[in-house]
Amino acid sequence: MKTVWEKLDKDGVKAVMDFNEEYRQFLTKSKTERTFVTNTEAFALENGFKSFDSFQELKAGDRVYVVNRKKNIMMLVVGEEPMNKGVNVLGAHIDSPRMDLKQKPLYEKDGIAFFDTHYYGGIKKYQWVARPLALVGVVAKKDGTVVDINIGDKPGDPVVGVSDLLIHLAQKQLQKTGATVIEGEKLDLTVASRPKKEVEEEAVKAFLLDLLQEQYGIDEEDFLSAEIEVVPAGEARDYGLDRSMILGYGHDDKVCAYTSVRAINEIKTPKRTSVLILTDKEEIGSVGATGAHSDFFEHVMVRALEKQGFTKMTDLYDLYENSYMLSIDVSAGYDSNYAEAFEARNSAYLGKGVCFNKYTGARGKSGSNDASAEFMAKVRKVMDENDVVFQTAELGAVDVGGGGTIAYILAEKNMDVIDAGIAVQNMHAPDEVVSKVDVYEAYRAYFAFLKDMQ
């Protein structure tokens, strides 16, 4: 079998297309970690999940969720076995490469108002110029109110962008390397050009500040306590004349996060407790209170054990030692236009199913989890028994590059962990590409893992 498409009948194709249309719409409205958590919480409530704090005890079949600082969410479906006998975990990240506004972003120069930015995560900076961008985030005011910002994605919204030098004057610019053709401090957003009447200095900035005060009740000082992300404007789109793919911002790693949310929702009363954790900050090292290095996961597990009557530290250690985890993050999709960057036999291909990376890392597996052979065998068995189409891959040719995931962080707690994701082309670009059959097959794989991994 060459691709998943070839095993599908008419009903199978419809299931793939319907699922992906729901994903496409969810991705469009969930471009930041905050919006992803908000929309996931709404989905959880609609499907019978209840807040963790509302449970005095946890029993089989309970559907539970907990949110951390509006940037993490965990979902649990409690199993028949006590949790210290082990749980099945899915873990993804919901942050994506982007630009953030600096704390003092607004300035005017030569009759144009700009927002100064700092890019977040690994990006090719030249990909972010001369394209429509949106502003999504929050402004926290000193009185405790928080103002939601979403400009550029709603119908009729204005957009912003980073200008580029016209080709007619770009001879010197084009002599630079790809890494420097656009420098980080050049990634400033054009945001206004209309001056305020009867203002002699910084009249455009003054007009914009009046507008922000009128529409959002914020002033310039409020940017000091704002988190505003600069993301591509517009909706995710069907890609290819056959509509077999999706082009959109943030597939890395929201495609794995969404499919895992859908998978855990299908779990009813499992033998082992099903756990999903969605983390922040993976693109900058999984740091901070909302990254995978945070103790948030451990705190929830301790409290969950307590609600089952287990209060010893050894109960937590037993949970870790007996647990299985899929670190669900995307893999580099083979691109024949750049074949020299891949090793063809060990690459992930669009359309060939969910992808398992026994190890990631860079060059000599540096920074990798490297799952055990025994655990990989268990995973293979579950996939085969559930007729899940899967492939295995490395992240590019050995000496070319590499990358990391959250796998090693959870593995350090003495859990069996392997990476399992979806092949993506254009990874970390403003518009990434996935195959619809891979999206659906990942959902099936995650459901099978939660249901049957013992």
406 and 367 in contact (C-beta within 8 Å)? no
436: tokens are 């619809």
- Counting residues of the chain whose pLDDT is more than 70, the rounded percentage is 100
194 and 131 both lie in a single domain: yes
How far from 10 is each of 14, 17, 18, 115, 375, CA to CA, in Å? Answer: 6, 11, 12, 50, 35
**pTM of structure:** 0.97
Structure tokens given for 358: 């026994």
Mean pLDDT of all residues in the chain?
A: 96
**Is there a domain that residue 239 lies in?**
no
Pairing of strands 432-435, 245-248: antiparallel
Residue 237: inside a domain: no
Pair 223, 263 in one domain? no
Residue 102: CATH number of its domain:
2.30.250.10
Count Cα neighbours of 285 within 13 Å in the Cβ-side half-sphere. Answer: 3
Mean pLDDT of 224-233: 98
Alpha-carbon span 423 to 354, nearest angstrom? 8
Residue at 240 is within a domain: no
Instruction: Identify whether residues 205 and 113 lie together within a single domain.
Output: yes
pLDDT band at 128 (very low <50, low <70, confident <90, very high): very high
The answer to whether residues 62 and 168 belong to one domain is no
State the residue range of the domain holding 228: 98-232
In this structure, are 219 and 283 located in the same domain? no
Tell me, yes or no, whether 266 and 219 share the same domain.
no
Please answer whether residues 279 and 256 qualify as being in contact, where contact means their C-beta atoms are separated by less than 8 angstroms: no
Question: Looking at the domain assignment, is residue 241 inside a domain?
Answer: no
Q: How many CB atoms lie within 10 A of CB 152?
A: 20
Query: Do 352 and 3 contact (CB within 8 A), yes or no?
Result: yes
What CATH number is associated with residue 91?
A: 3.40.630.10
Specify whether 162 is located in the same domain as 277: no
Q: Are residues 399 and 442 in the same domain?
A: yes
Report pLDDT digits (tens) over 31-75: 999 999 999 999 999 999 999 999 999 999 999 999 999 999 999
pLDDT in tens, 251-275: 999 999 999 999 999 999 999 999 9
Q: Are residue 64 and residue 76 in the same domain, yes or no?
A: yes
Encode pLDDT of 153-191 as tens digits.
Answer: 999 999 999 999 999 999 999 999 999 999 999 999 999
Domain final position from 232, 262, 292: 232
pLDDT of residue 1: 63
